[in-house]
Amino acid sequence: MENSENKTREQIGFDILLNIDGEDGKKVIESLQDIAPDLGKFILEFTFADIYQRDVLDWKQREIITITSLLTLGGLEKQLDVHINAALNVGVTKQEIVEAFIQCSPYVGFPRVLNAIFVAKEVFSRRKEA
Amino acid sequence: MENSENKTREQIGFDILLNIDGEDGKKVIESLQDIAPDLGKFILEFTFADIYQRDVLDWKQREIITITSLLTLGGLEKQLDVHINAALNVGVTKQEIVEAFIQCSPYVGFPRVLNAIFVAKEVFSRRKEA
Amino acid sequence: MENSENKTREQIGFDILLNIDGEDGKKVIESLQDIAPDLGKFILEFTFADIYQRDVLDWKQREIITITSLLTLGGLEKQLDVHINAALNVGVTKQEIVEAFIQCSPYVGFPRVLNAIFVAKEVFSRRKEA
Amino acid sequence: MENSENKTREQIGFDILLNIDGEDGKKVIESLQDIAPDLGKFILEFTFADIYQRDVLDWKQREIITITSLLTLGGLEKQLDVHINAALNVGVTKQEIVEAFIQCSPYVGFPRVLNAIFVAKEVFSRRKEA
Amino acid sequence: MENSENKTREQIGFDILLNIDGEDGKKVIESLQDIAPDLGKFILEFTFADIYQRDVLDWKQREIITITSLLTLGGLEKQLDVHINAALNVGVTKQEIVEAFIQCSPYVGFPRVLNAIFVAKEVFSRRKEA
Amino acid sequence: MENSENKTREQIGFDILLNIDGEDGKKVIESLQDIAPDLGKFILEFTFADIYQRDVLDWKQREIITITSLLTLGGLEKQLDVHINAALNVGVTKQEIVEAFIQCSPYVGFPRVLNAIFVAKEVFSRRKEA
């Protein structure tokens, strides 16, 4: 883990989580502390330290893949909210997010696309107000 | 719709399908002729003429989104085969395909990622032989 | 498109949407205007102009198929609400809707059937009050 | 289905299974005998004796609902094969089966619809030969 | 089935439901009375009288399997709530519930695991207050 | 699993994989070497070193949870094959595996349960011959 001196994988993951998901991601990890702290640790270590540090795809591409997966799985509106925010944080534009969801229509069907669009609508409007 | 003069949406879609999916995509459409020709027409018109001609995302990004959705839905190995080929056809590299699948691991779980990787392995080896 | 004179596919689709889904459907399309208007257009054109105008199955049969799919996909309570209403609008009876959901039990399992039944319960009671 | 004097629910279910699914259904039940005979019994009792004997919807409608659910769940090609046969056995036409699958396109996406169509194609051709 | 004398399957199922799910399960069945009473009957008969009375696995093991399935299906937070309660009622510990969910992470992905954990958090806190 | 002096997480994971999944698991990891070796590494590190070494649940319980998840996800027959074998390797009996699948029927529906049972039937018969 070259860019880390003496940091643990968990600490590296936490730094990356903060960079990508911001406060929303931090809150998810904190809300696990009293019930399943190790789950938070695994998310930081595996998702953020192991996966998001990899080459070949940049963070913008990774977040587009992530929100596509979340839309497709269905029933994950809270996580879509966090990762639509994350996508915007790393430089994906609103138009690209909407367009990625539209691209899913022929493969996943309109209903899950609509759900994702309405989460995006909420995230976009919350960020405008802030 | 610059490339269309007097072409129907179906013809436009077919041209794009040929460009992206190549022979594999053509075979899918042909195999529908005796049982559900209109379904083939809708796929050409909606997926290819309506969606793949849009701006904001290029074909490489669209195919990465498509294979992510197919991996996530599960049970769609045939379509993954066609679209991994399509991704390579429009310039996505083998490494990028594999990396997109790895990015899905924390969100979709390893089993569906493994299925997609093994389809990619088959596609990659078939193209090397050809 | 014989019944359409000079109407666009979008306009034809909108007329059919109004006939089937009523105000609820119109609201979904309207709520897309500021974020993804083309998605609304595709839903009108593909779902309503292309599919709902087809022969072989009537609208009652089509809505039974649609609510079965929505129940089975899971996590689509809002769309189930719209289409349970639509089913009633085109003449499917409350009993038939409930019975269609019960028919899904051995194939989809009780939990998703329960979710759909509770959406139906809400729709039925809202229509009684109106 | 006149109600079966002294027959057990399992026997009633078996008679109905034979009427609807024919030999294919019988084989499924038989193939469970050495590993999970009670599962076969529950399928006969619950699915066929409890559900298929109910009023409100006839067998044609029930089979259309069943194949819609199986298409939507995905990864159930064997069961789709049995129930496309069953649909034909109880009087659903080939055109209606294909049309039911097309109706699912905007809600479930094309890939699972394609899988179901290709199963139907196989079933239709097998029955023509027989 | 020793505990049954002249009880119907429905009554046996209801007794078991009360033992396992308690008031929450009873409310689900009651809420079906005005819309789909037979669905409640089938749940009592098939799920509770037929399945939960079986040998080989005890109720603790059965509830762990049930909450695993509900987590994996996704979009079933209400039913997870009932069955996390049920798991605690039959003697599964809070730690075992959390651990079962963590075990799903590599197979189902973190997002559905997180949803299940947050339902568990709510159930645990509600029971502490009571 | 005494904790492995100077072994890497990958080596620890590999030892546990061998203990649980045996040759089948080893083959999965090996088949990833030429296409996505890091994916194999993540599976060994996260699934086996991180998760399977944890307390609270033993390996038998963990494998029952895993095969329940795989059955419920659907379309994962290859992984079910590996993990039904793994379950038998760590001491889950054939009867318990079948019973776990039957327990899923009311929640997941019969079709995915049937698919899992038929995979189990194949695994059981292959082990008898060996």
Q: pLDDT by residue (tens digit) across D5-23? A: 789 999 999 999 999 999 9
Alpha helix segments (H runs only) across D32-76: 37-42, 59-73
Predicted local confidence at residue A84, as pLDDT = 98
Does C107 sit within 8 Å of F110, measured CB to CB? yes
Chain D residues within an 8 Å CB radius of A109: 105-109
Which candidate in C71, C104, C108, C114 is best for mutational testing of the F interface (most F CBs within 10 A)?
A: C108
The answer on pLDDT for A4 being more than 70 is: no
Chain C residues within an 8 Å CB radius of E44: none
Tokens standing for residue C32: 């897309």
CATH of A57-130, one of 1.20.1290.10, 3.40.920.10, 1.20.1260.10, 3.10.180.10: 1.20.1290.10
Does E31 sit within 8 Å of C121, measured CB to CB? yes
Instruction: Search chain C and give the residue with CA nearest F113.
Output: C107
Q: How far is D105 from chain A (nearest CA, A)?
A: 7
Q: How far is C69 from chain B (nearest CA, A)?
A: 15
Q: How far is C14 from chain F (nearest CA, A)?
A: 37
Does A74 sit within 8 Å of C36, measured CB to CB? no
Does F66 sit within 8 Å of E64, measured CB to CB? no
* Angstrom distance (rounded) from CA E11 to CA E1: 13
Q: How confident is the model at residue C129 (pLDDT cuts 50, 70, 90)?
A: confident
Return the closest-CA partner of residue A104 out of A72, A128, A60. Answer: A72
Report, as ranges of residue numbers, the positions in chain F whose pLDDT lies below 50: 1-2
Chain A residues within an 8 Å CB radius of E125: none
Instruction: Search chain F and give the residue with CA nearest E64.
Output: F65
Name the more confident of E107 and D3: E107
Q: How far is A20 from chain F (nearest CA, A)?
A: 22
The segment(s) of chain F belonging to CATH 1.20.1290.10 are 57-130
Chain E residues within an 8 Å CB radius of C98: 35-36, 39
* Angstrom distance (rounded) from CA B27 to CA E79: 44
Predicted local confidence at residue D129, as pLDDT = 82
The answer on pLDDT for B111 being more than 50 is: yes
Which candidate in F110, F126, F127 is best for mutational testing of the D interface (most D CBs within 10 A)?
A: F110
Chain D residues within an 8 Å CB radius of F128: none
Q: How confident is the model at residue D4 (pLDDT cuts 50, 70, 90)?
A: low
Chain F residues within an 8 Å CB radius of A54: 38
Q: Report the residue from C74, C111, C120 with minimal CB separation from E35.
A: C120
Chain B residues within an 8 Å CB radius of D116: none
Chain D interface residues facing chain A, Cβ-Cβ under 8 Å? 105-111
Instruction: Search chain F and give the residue with CA nearest D73.
Output: F74
Does B99 sit within 8 Å of A57, measured CB to CB? yes
Predicted local confidence at residue D120, as pLDDT = 98
Q: How far is E125 from chain F (nearest CA, A)?
A: 21
Give mean pLDDT, residues D53-58: 98
Alpha helix segments (H runs only) across A21-76: 22-31, 37-42, 59-73
Decide: helix, strand or coil at residue A21.
coil
Name the more confident of E3 and C63: C63
Does D105 sit within 8 Å of B75, measured CB to CB? no
Predicted local confidence at residue F76, as pLDDT = 98
What integer best gives the mean pLDDT of chain C?
A: 95
Predicted local confidence at residue C1, as pLDDT = 43
Predicted local confidence at residue A3, as pLDDT = 52
For the segment C21-43, what is each residue's pLDDT rounded down to a tens digit?
A: 999 999 999 999 999 999 999 99
pLDDT over 70 for what percent of chain C? Answer: 97
- 């086996």: which residue's tokens? F48
The answer on pLDDT for D113 being more than 90 is: yes
Predicted local confidence at residue A50, as pLDDT = 98
Predicted local confidence at residue C3, as pLDDT = 52
Q: How confident is the model at residue C67 (pLDDT cuts 50, 70, 90)?
A: very high
Chain E residues within an 8 Å CB radius of B114: none
Q: How confident is the model at residue D3 (pLDDT cuts 50, 70, 90)?
A: low
Return the closest-CA partner of residue B3 out of B47, B49, B58. Answer: B49
Predicted local confidence at residue E1, as pLDDT = 44
Return the closest-CA partner of residue A79 out of A68, A90, A93. Answer: A68
Q: How far is A5 from chain B (nearest CA, A)?
A: 25
Which candidate in A50, A55, A68, A110 is best for mutational testing of the B interface (most B CBs within 10 A)?
A: A68
Q: Report the residue from B98, B111, B118 with minimal CB separation from F70.
A: B111
Long-range contacts of E75-81 (CB under 8 A, 24+ apart): E75/A74, E75/A75, E75/C74, E75/C75, E75/C112, E75/C115, E76/C74, E76/C111, E76/C112, E76/C115, E77/E115, E77/E119, E78/C114, E78/C115, E79/C111, E79/C114, E80/E116, E80/E119, E80/E120, E81/E24, E81/E119, E81/E122, E81/E123
Does A42 sit within 8 Å of F42, measured CB to CB? no
* Angstrom distance (rounded) from CA D34 to CA D32: 6
Please report, as a single letter, which amino acid is at residue B28. V
Please report, as a single letter, which amino acid is at residue C127. R
Does D31 sit within 8 Å of F109, measured CB to CB? no
Q: How far is E125 from chain C (nearest CA, A)?
A: 24
Predicted local confidence at residue C101, as pLDDT = 98
Chain B residues within an 8 Å CB radius of F119: none
* Angstrom distance (rounded) from CA E116 to CA E64: 13
Predicted local confidence at residue B12, as pLDDT = 97
Does C32 sit within 8 Å of A105, measured CB to CB? no
Chain B residues within an 8 Å CB radius of E102: none
Instruction: Search chain E and give the residue with CA nearest F79.
Output: E107
Instruction: Search chain B and give the residue with CA nearest E107.
Output: B109
For the segment D66-91, what is each residue's pLDDT rounded down to a tens digit?
A: 999 999 999 999 999 999 999 999 99
* Angstrom distance (rounded) from CA F86 to CA F80: 9
Instruction: Search chain C and give the residue with CA nearest E34.
Output: C121
Give mean pLDDT, residues A78-92: 98
Q: Using CA of residue A10, residue F3, residue F9, residue F21, what is the dihedral sign?
A: negative
Please report, as a single letter, which amino acid is at residue F92. V
The CA-atom distances, in angstroms, between A12 and each of A19, A31, A43, A58 are 11, 19, 12, 17
